[in-house]
Amino acid sequence: MAQFDGRCLLNSDIIEILKVIHERTGLDFSLYKEGTLNRRIVGRMRALELSKYSDYAERLRTDPSEQSKLLDAISINVTEMFRNPELFDELERVVFPNIIEEKLTKKHRMIRIWSCGCSTGQEPYSIAIAVSDCIEGSGSKISCSIVATDIDISAITKARAGVFGFSDLKEIGRKRRDKYFIKSGDDFEVAPSIRKMVHFKRHDVVTDRPFRFNDIIFCRNTFIYFNKELQEETQLKLCECLNPGGKLILGMCESLVGAASGKFVARNSALRIYERRVEDYSKSFVASDVLSQEKIDSIIRELNEEGYEENSDRRR
């Protein structure tokens, strides 16, 4: 299990509580903002009528249900376009250009991305916009297919609609907003050029058939709801769904667990960007399966068929 981050500048009371959470779940909130953490912790203390941080830390050690309640309080579902701008800066500056260059070198035509736990669509649409700008900047004719999945069908329905309020777009500059969104009353609709890149599907990452041969998998703030055993199992599954050198991107409080940590190289540990080891991939698959464009095109058609149909229905 990853070590608790020693760089945190939180007060000792909060650190002790976060250490308990880390010991029990493997999740590290030490780089979260102190004010936000303190408000969430104090809210739970008040609910339990506790006045001392030490008493609450002891309650966490002995009460798994309270651990879950605190996690829910800390991870209140906040989703917006380009959430964690520093991550998207790195993606656009380094990760996406490198993938585009590799595709051109291998004469491949498609970038394949899986947004796992996509909620109401802000993440996959943000990815599509960022990739689209990078492809345009490269002058290439490479295309990108993004499969966006979530277990919540109501979230998927909202995501397919592609309509967002101004508050969702606060991290987007006016130039991008004008380019990739259509004003509709007080809301903004995602432009058709971006919508056609994203294929939404109701999917349970734990039990359903996974989507393989991805260049990047985003699975941010999903593992917070899993115990350590399920985190490890799911991370190993996602590893098998990546091409050699493919990237796995986790949430800012999450880390690789158990055997999964040996399957990846950290490319940017602060931003939770991990790369699948090429030598690990070679043990499982034949190289020709990766290097054959015809094979990749066939797989993409097979796995995306339902997603394309769903998007077509949505646009009618």
Question: Taking Cα atoms as reference points, which of 277, 289, 232, 276 lies closest to residue 255?
Answer: 232
pLDDT, position 305: 55
Structure tokens, 292:
């054959």
Under DSSP, is residue 49 helix (H, G, I), strand (E, B) or coil?
Answer: coil
Distance CA 59, CA 52 (A): 11
Q: pTM for this structure?
A: 0.74
* Structure confidence at residue 284 (pLDDT): 54
Q: Quote the CA–CA distance of 75 and 202 in Å, as a whole number.
A: 22
Q: In what order do the strands lie in the sheet with 242-250?
A: 198-202, 143-150, 110-116, 214-219, 242-250, 273-276, 264-268
What is the structure's pLDDT at 306? 47
Query: Is 136 exposed, middle or buried (CB count within 10 Å of its CB: 0-12, 13-18, 19+)?
Result: exposed
| Alpha carbons 230 and 157: distance in angstroms, whole number | 27
Confidence (pLDDT) at 301: 59
Q: For the domain 85-315, what is the CATH code? A: 3.40.50.150
CB-facing half-sphere around the CA of 159: CA atoms within 13 A = 32
Tens digit of each residue's pLDDT (9 = 90 or more) over 233-286: 999 999 999 999 999 999 988 999 999 999 999 999 999 999 999 876 555 544
SS (H, E, C) 250-303: ECCCCCCCHHHHHHEEEEEHHHCEEEECHHHHHCCCCHHHHHCHHHHHHHHHHH
Q: Extract the tokens encoding 181.
A: 């969104």
Q: Which residues of the chain have pLDDT under 70?
A: 1-10, 31-33, 75-78, 280-316
The C-alpha angle 102, 234, 6, rounded to 5 degrees, equals 85
Full strand arrangement of the beta sheet holding 187-190? 163-165, 187-190, 181-184
Domain boundaries, the chain: 12-74, 85-315
Q: Contact 252/147 with Cβ under 8 angstroms?
A: no
C-beta of residue 90 within 8 angstroms of C-beta of residue 271: yes
